[in-house]
Amino acid sequence: MTTPTDAELSETSAPQAETAEAQQDQGPRFTDLDLDPRILAVVERLGYETPSPIQAQTIPLLSDGRDVVGLAQTGTGKTAAFALPALTHLARTVEAGELGTAPQTLVLAPTRELALQVAEAFTTYAAEIEGLSVLPIYGGAPYGPQLAGLRRGAHVVVGTPGRVIDHLSRGSLDLSEIRHLVLDEADEMLRMGFAEEVDQILQQTPDRKQVALFSATMPQAIRRISAQYLNEPVEVSVKAKTTTSSTIRQRCVQVRHSSKLEALTRIMETEAHDAAIVFVRTRAATEEVANRLSARGFRAAAINGDIPQNLREKTVENLREGRVDVLVATDVAARGLDVERISHVFNYDIPVDTESYVHRIGRTGRAGRSGEAVLFVTPREKRLLRAIEKATRQKVEQMPMPTVSDVNASRMQRFSERITQTLASEDLEDYRDLVSSYVSEHDVPAEEVAAALVSMTQDGRPLLLDDSGPDELVRQAERSLEEERGERRGGSEGRSGGRGRFGERGGSSPVREPGEGNAMYKIALGRRDRVNPGHIVGAIANEAGLNSRQIGSIDIRNTHSLVELPEHLSQDQWEALSKTRIGGELIRLERDTGPHGTGEGHRSRGGRGDRDDRGGRGERPRGHRKGGPREGSRQGGKYDGGKGRGPRRGSDRFGR
C-alpha cells in the first residue's frame, strides 16, 4: 500500500534539473490555493511548498465548483489534485456542524491497490480535521469491516466499482448526499469491463454534484462519459516526465513477494557494489527491510517521513561517508538525494507509476557516472513493468537470479580476501602463539583450530548456503525468462505457440483440446447475462490469484461459458471462486464434462454459493493484459487467451 508521501506531489519529490526547479519556483505555492489551514499544515509538514502542474491547474477549478477532466498519468500528483479541494470543502462542512454520517465524497478506482493508495492519501491529508472518516471498500476483502465502517459513518468512500455495486445492492451504502465524485483512471475502468457498473453508480448519485474525471488517455468512450455526466467540464492536460539516463543499466527479475529479501541479498552478495538504495512503498517496510538486512550482515539503515529531519540528515551523511552501505527508503524520504557512491538502486516494491520509477533510478548514474537499477516484479505486476517500458521507451533487461553456487563462490572469495588482508595488515604474533599453544596442549591439527575460529566469527550463521535441494528462486526467475523467450519466438501467437482457435461446439471450427497442464471449466453465465471475456478474466484472475498466462481460451455461449484454467486448482482457489460473482451473479465454476473436457465433472466446492458472506465481484488486477482481452477487436464472443484477440473490455458505450 502506498502512502501519499510516497507517491503523491511527485513533481517536487525529486527535482529533475535546475530548469525544471526554476519553472516550478515561478508557479503558485500551496498557500496560494485557498486550501483549509489544517490541510495546508499537513502538506507543509510533509515538506511540500510548490504544487505539481496538475495540482496547480486543477485545485483552483475544483475549489470554484467546476467539473474537471484531467488527462494525466499516475505519478503526476493527481490524487492530491482532487483530494485537497474535496477535503477543504469537508473541513468547512465540519466547522458549520453539517457533516452528518452519510458519504459526501466518492472516489471510484479500478483496482484494490489504487483504492487503498487513494484512501491512505485522503487519511493523511485529513489528519488535522477532527471527526472526518475515510473508508476504502474493495473486492477480495471481508464484508464485515466495511459494513461496520459504513454503519459508523464514512464521509469519504474510496471503492472499486464491483464492491460499490455490491454495497448498493445490500443497501449498506447511501449515495444520496454525495457532493464530490471522482473517477480515477477512468480509461482503465472501461478496459477492465466496469462501464455498466460505473453507469449504475453515477445514476444513483444526486444530479447536483461535482465530478472530476482523470484518465491517461481520451478515447471516444471517455468523451461520451464527460458529455453525459459532467457539467461544462474544464479539460486539464499534463504529461509525466519519463526520461531515464542512458548511463543507468535497467534490469528486472521475477520473484514472489515472500522471496524478495532472499533475492535482494543474493544479488547484493554476488554483484560488486558500493552503496545502494532499496526503495519500498511504505514507511513500515523501510524499518522491516533495514532490520532484516542488518541481521544478515549488511550495514543498512531506514529513512522515511516519520524519522526526524536531523536523524535523516545524519543517516544520509553516514551513507556518504561509508558508515552505512544500504539505505532503505520511501520515495519522498529520498527526494533530492545525491550521494556519489550510490552504485545500485533496487526497486524492492515496484512503483505504481512511471514517474516514481524515473525519480528512483535517478539516484544512481548521476553526473555521467554509470549506475545499476534492479526492479523486482511479482507475477501479477507484469503490467506495471510493461507500462514502465512503454513510457520510458526503454526495454528493462530480464536478469537471471544468482544461484546458491554463485552466492557460495562469492562468499568464499570475500572470506579469502579478508584472510589475505588480515595477514598483510595485522600483527598476529600473539594470536599465533595462542593457536600454537592450543595445538600442543590439546593435540589437534592447526586446521581444526582455524575451522573452529571461523565458526566463532560466523556467530552461529553458516558461511555457505545449502545447495542440496531445488533452487526455487532461480526457478521463479527462469520461468519469467522462458515466457519472455516464448513470446519473442511465437510473435503474435503468444504463449499458445500456434494453437488453433477455440471455436463453438457444433460449429465449423473444431474446439481445441486444453493445453498441457490445463483443463476446461464451465461457468453458469453467458451471453444472456451480458458477460464478456474481460469480465471473466478479471474476476477469475483477481479472486483466484491467477495471472493472465494461466487463463487460456474463453468461449462464451448463450447460457454458460467455457474457460481454460490450470488442471489442478488449490482448495483455496476453489473456495475463492465458489464465492466469485460477475455483475452480482455467482459464476458457479465447475469442471467441464463435455467431449473436450477432462471428464472428471469436478464441481467447485461450495459452488452453489450458500454462504452469507460471499466475496464480491471484486476488481480486476492491474496486470492481465498479456494473453487477456484487448480493446479494439471483436470475435463474436470468443477469446483466445494465447493470441490476445478477444473482444475489448467494457461495453461499446458507457451509458444506455
DSSP-based three-state secondary structure for 9:
coil
Candidates 96, 125, 47; CA nearest to 331 is 47
Reply yes or no on whether the pLDDT at 82 is more than 80.
yes
Is 345 within 8 Å of 279 (Cβ atoms)? Answer: yes
Candidates 498, 490, 553; CA nearest to 520 is 553
For residue 144, the number of C-alpha atoms closer than 13 Å in the C-beta half-sphere is: 3
Residues 6+ apart with CB under 8 A from 366: 245, 338, 340
Grid-cell match 467441464, residue found: 592
| End-to-end Cα separation, the chain, in angstroms | 36
The reported pLDDT for the residue numbered 411 is 79
Q: What angle do CA 323, 326, 332 make, to 5 degrees?
A: 115
Q: Is residue 196 very low, low, confident or very high in pLDDT (cuts 50, 70, 90)?
A: confident
Nine-digit cell at 480?
519469467
Distance CA 94, CA 132 (A): 8
Kindly tell me the burial class for residue 164, based on how many C-beta atoms sit within 10 Å of its own C-beta (0-12, 13-18, 19 or more): buried
Percent of the chain at pLDDT exceeding 90: 30
Q: Is residue 578 very low, low, confident or very high in pLDDT (cuts 50, 70, 90)?
A: confident
For residue 270, the number of C-alpha atoms closer than 13 Å in the C-beta half-sphere is: 16
Q: pLDDT tens digits for 86-105?
A: 999 999 998 888 888 899 99
Reply yes or no on whether the pLDDT at 348 is more than 80.
yes
Angle between helices 161-170 and 195-203 (to 10 degrees): 40
b (16+ CB within 10 A) / e for 249-270: bbebbbbeeebbbbbbbbbbbb
| CATH 3.30.70.330 is the classification of domain 499-639 | yes
H/E element holding 276? strand 275-279
Reply yes or no on whether the pLDDT at 20 is more than 50.
no
Q: pLDDT tens digits for 239-295?
A: 655 566 678 899 999 898 888 999 999 999 999 889 999 999 888 899 999 999 998
Reply yes or no on whether the pLDDT at 2 is more than 50.
no
The reported pLDDT for the residue numbered 61 is 95
Percent of the chain at pLDDT exceeding 70: 76
Candidates 473, 580, 476, 572; CA nearest to 523 is 580
Distance CA 136, CA 126 (A): 15
Kind of pairing between the strands at 342-347 and 180-183: unpaired
Is 384 within 8 Å of 263 (Cβ atoms)? Answer: no
Candidates 460, 471, 392, 334; CA nearest to 47 is 334
Specify the fold of 4-237: Rossmann fold (3.40.50)
| CATH 3.40.50.300 is the classification of domain 248-403 | yes
Q: pLDDT tens digits for 458-497?
A: 766 677 777 666 677 777 776 654 554 444 444 333 333 3
H/E element holding 149? helix 143-152
The reported pLDDT for the residue numbered 650 is 35
Grid-cell match 556519489, residue found: 340
Of 621 and 69, which is predicted with more confidence?
Answer: 69
The reported pLDDT for the residue numbered 15 is 31
Candidates 300, 308, 394, 396; CA nearest to 347 is 396
Q: pLDDT tens digits for 36-49?
A: 999 999 988 877 77
The reported pLDDT for the residue numbered 509 is 33
For residue 463, the number of C-alpha atoms closer than 13 Å in the C-beta half-sphere is: 16
Is 103 within 8 Å of 175 (Cβ atoms)? Answer: yes
Is 561 within 8 Å of 531 (Cβ atoms)? Answer: yes
Reply yes or no on whether the pLDDT at 125 is more than 90.
yes
Of 208 and 309, which is predicted with more confidence?
Answer: 208
Q: pLDDT tens digits for 515-543?
A: 777 889 999 998 888 888 878 887 887 77
Candidates 157, 241, 250; CA nearest to 201 is 157
φ and ψ of 550, to 5 deg: -90, -5
Reply yes or no on whether the pLDDT at 604 is more than 60.
no
Is 351 within 8 Å of 7 (Cβ atoms)? Answer: yes
Cα→Cα distances 481→95, 470, 623, Å: 58, 18, 17
DSSP-based three-state secondary structure for 441:
helix
Kind of pairing between the strands at 180-183 and 210-215: parallel
Is 69 within 8 Å of 216 (Cβ atoms)? Answer: no
Nine-digit cell at 563?
474457460
Dihedral (CA of 614, 620, 626, 628) sign: positive
Mean pLDDT of the residues in the chain: 77
Amino acid making up residue 354:
T
Nine-digit cell at 232?
461544462
The reported pLDDT for the residue numbered 460 is 63
The ranges of the chain annotated as CATH 3.30.70.330 are 499-639
The ranges of the chain annotated as CATH 3.40.50.300 are 4-237, 248-403
Reply yes or no on whether the pLDDT at 123 is more than 90.
yes
